[in-house]
Amino acid sequence: MTSKKSDIKSPEGKLGILIPGLGAVSTTFISGVLLIRKGMHKPIGSLTQMGKLRTGKGIDAKDVNIKDFIPLATLEDLEFGGWDLFEDNVYESAKNAAVLSREDIDPIKEELEKIKPWKAVFNRRFVKNLDGKWVKEAPTHWDLAEMVKQDILNFQKEKNLARMVMVWCGSTEIHQVMEPGVHDTIANFEKALKENHPAIAPSMIYCYAAMSLGIPYANGAPNLCNDIPAFWELAEKNQVPMCGKDFKTGQTFMKTLLAPGLKARMLGMQGWYSTNILGNRDGEVLDDPDSFKSKEVSKLSVLHQILEPEVYPDLYGDFYHKVTINYYPPRGDNKEGWDNIDIFGWLGYPMQIKVNFLCRDSILAAPFVLDLAIFLDLAKRASLSGNQEWLAFYWKSPMHTPDEEPEHDIFVQLMRLKNTLRWFMDEPPVTYLGSETYN
């Protein structure tokens, strides 16, 4: 990173948020922003809107609002556009998702109805349990990418946008691994687009379209998508910031809270069993074993990195970690994450922790979409490019270079994020040493 306060361009003009997938998460996010702009609700869960950080030392130390500390796009700046497999406008989609009450969405019905999805890029091989009809048809993947670019440019012109960001809020695709000759360089990827290679997923087509136009990209699902060498290359070539993957909202959020505490107290662990039930479109998609595999890989990576069994073999050397997800339609968007944790303490005596998190998946994810869009816009205005590791706070499976380990401890992630914001503004980092706090 080389940018400093004087290098950050002003957030003037409108910011367009491009969203592949106008389902439960997206409509909850869009509706929430509109309601907050009208003063009808507070932006609870959003670090950019409600978070604070400390500046100064001793008697000069003070807590300041993040949104006042650093030049960010405001909620009034935001415009929304996106793609979906179904033709329903955002009001109809929000009503069908049934995350928000009619009492909340009806006052903004007119605004929501104006947001109509563009036809989606879709390949059922990657999401087997969905079969939308509102989809693009073209001879090649390359042609589909060009159609997505045209949607973006039309939206920019229609809304008179100064800048744009894309946040993937679509379904979880089947598990993929990087394929040499397709995903390894941008030249190979573009060749594969033109040849309709089967290893190119719809999420990759959206990402390619965005980053080709210099638009930052965030991957809200565990899809392979932008975590391939070709897109790391494209990000540097076009000076585009990106990040991912998989919003850290429910059960994994609990793990990144509890596991650091167990490790801090040097308490051992024999096993962590996790199961989920959910009934929204995400649950339906994850009912397919190939799509679940993507989510499982994302969820399983957290504990190993935090607990470091190689470093602490007596405490975590052979712990067992199991994750399951079950589709249960009556639960809708109100996901239940149940955890059983077998731990042991002094002299090896066993104990247990039980967690039953009755969460609302889209309520937890919606502020993430807002924060990521606003922070990626900041990164772009500060001339940053490539993977934004300082945004690992938001991800179940933070992207990282092959020679690195991702950081999963949520408290370390938050410190890194806030210290990056301080760095942007030429403020010294906070490390919580006594001297820096009190002198």
Q: Is 189 exposed, middle or buried (0-12, 13-18, 19+ CB in 10 A)?
A: buried
pLDDT at 2 over 80: no
Domain residue limits, the chain: 5-247+362-424, 251-358
Could you read off the pLDDT of 347-378 as tens digits, one per residue?
A: 999 999 999 999 999 999 999 999 999 999 99
pLDDT averaged over the chain?
Answer: 94
**337/166 Cα distance (integer angstroms):** 29
Task: In the chain, count H helices and then E strands.
Answer: 17, 13
pLDDT at 379: 98
Does domain 5-247+362-424 fall into CATH 3.30.70.141? no
pLDDT at 1 over 50: no
Q: Give the sheet arrangement for strand 268-278, strand by strand.
A: 320-327, 268-278, 336-344, 350-358
Could you read off the pLDDT of 377-406 as tens digits, one per residue?
A: 999 999 999 999 999 999 999 999 888 889
pLDDT at 439 over 70: no
Q: Contact, 93 vs 27, CB < 8 A?
A: yes
pLDDT at 289: 78
- List Cα–Cα distances, 139 to 191, 193, 194, 394, in angstroms: 14, 11, 9, 37
pTM of the model: 0.94
Nearest CA to 81 among 206, 193, 172? 206
Topology of the domain covering 251-358: Dihydrodipicolinate Reductase; domain 2 (3.30.360)
Could you read off the pLDDT of 54-105 as tens digits, one per residue?
A: 998 888 889 999 999 999 999 999 999 999 999 999 999 999 999 999 999 9
Give residue for tokens 């940053």: 384
Cβ contacts of 186-195, under 8 Å, gap ≥ 24: 186/230, 186/231, 186/233, 186/234, 186/237, 188/230, 189/228, 189/230, 189/231, 190/142, 192/141, 193/140, 193/141, 193/142, 193/145, 194/140, 194/141, 194/142, 195/140
Could you read off the pLDDT of 266-282 as tens digits, one per residue?
A: 999 999 999 999 887 77
pLDDT at 47: 98
